[in-house]
């Protein structure tokens, strides 16, 4: 009497292998999805940094246009990095600087400097702290500061 395995036994054995294959596929898919989530987070951080650079560019162009429009008082727009604008005695200049400086300070760690490089050239520097990039790097001891500098000339 020869006893041979029945077909039912082979089917049960194959079902077990399929279950293991599905579990391995789920693990591989889970690792892939975690990697995708990390990539998405990094993309959001880079996008935020891009937004800060865009804001700094727009603010620098804005104050440059204001200074060009008020060339007679161009020297009174001078500002040291980290300082607050001092009153100039000219209401138009003071109002322009106050509104502009409030927008600079709305950026995280926002600071600005305006320097008259030559008689007809000014340099505008805007700095900010990119805290999302710090947290993304996982190191809170980093001081990741973005800086944008614009040098422009005044016309006659």
What's the start-to-end Cα distance of the chain, in Å? 113
> Does 77 reside within a domain?
yes
Strand order in the sheet with 121-129: 111-116, 121-129, 145-153
| Domain housing 149 | 7-153
> Does 47 reside within a domain?
yes
The per-residue pLDDT for 8 is 54
Number of domains in the chain: 1
- The two three-digit tokens of residue 102, written as one number: 């409030």
The per-residue pLDDT for 56 is 93
- Strand ranges inside the chain, DSSP E: 111-116, 121-129, 145-153
Give the span between the Cα atoms of 101 and 122, in whole angstroms: 17
Which parts of the chain register pLDDT below 50?
Answer: none
| Cβ neighbours of 84 (radius 10 Å) | 11
The per-residue pLDDT for 96 is 87
The per-residue pLDDT for 42 is 84
What does the angle CA 101 – CA 106 – CA 107 come to, to the nearest 5 degrees?
105
The per-residue pLDDT for 49 is 80
> Does 92 reside within a domain?
yes
pLDDT digits (tens, 9 = 90+) for 92-134: 888 889 999 999 999 988 999 999 888 888 999 999 987 765 5
Q: Contact, 129 vs 144, CB < 8 A?
A: yes
> Does 1 reside within a domain?
no
Q: Give the chain's length.
A: 156
């Amino acid at each position: 009497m020869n006893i041979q395995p029945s077909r039912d036994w082979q089917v049960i054995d194959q079902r077990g292998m399929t279950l293991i294959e599905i579990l391995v596929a789920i693990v591989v898919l889970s690792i892939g999805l975690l990697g995708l989530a990390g990539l998405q987070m990094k993309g959001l951080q880079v996008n935020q940094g891009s937004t800060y650079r865009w804001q700094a560019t727009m603010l620098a162009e804005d104050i440059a246009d204001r200074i060009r429009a008020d060339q007679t008082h161009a020297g009174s727009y001078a500002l040291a990095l980290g300082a607050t604008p001092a009153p100039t005695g000219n209401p138009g200049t003071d109002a322009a600087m106050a509104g502009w400086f409030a927008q600079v300070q709305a950026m995280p760690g926002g600071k600005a400097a305006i320097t008259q490089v030559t008689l007809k050239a000014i340099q505008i520097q805007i700095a900010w702290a990119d805290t999302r990039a710090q947290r993304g790097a996982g190191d809170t001891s980093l001081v990741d500061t973005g800086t944008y500098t614009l040098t422009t000339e005044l016309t006659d």
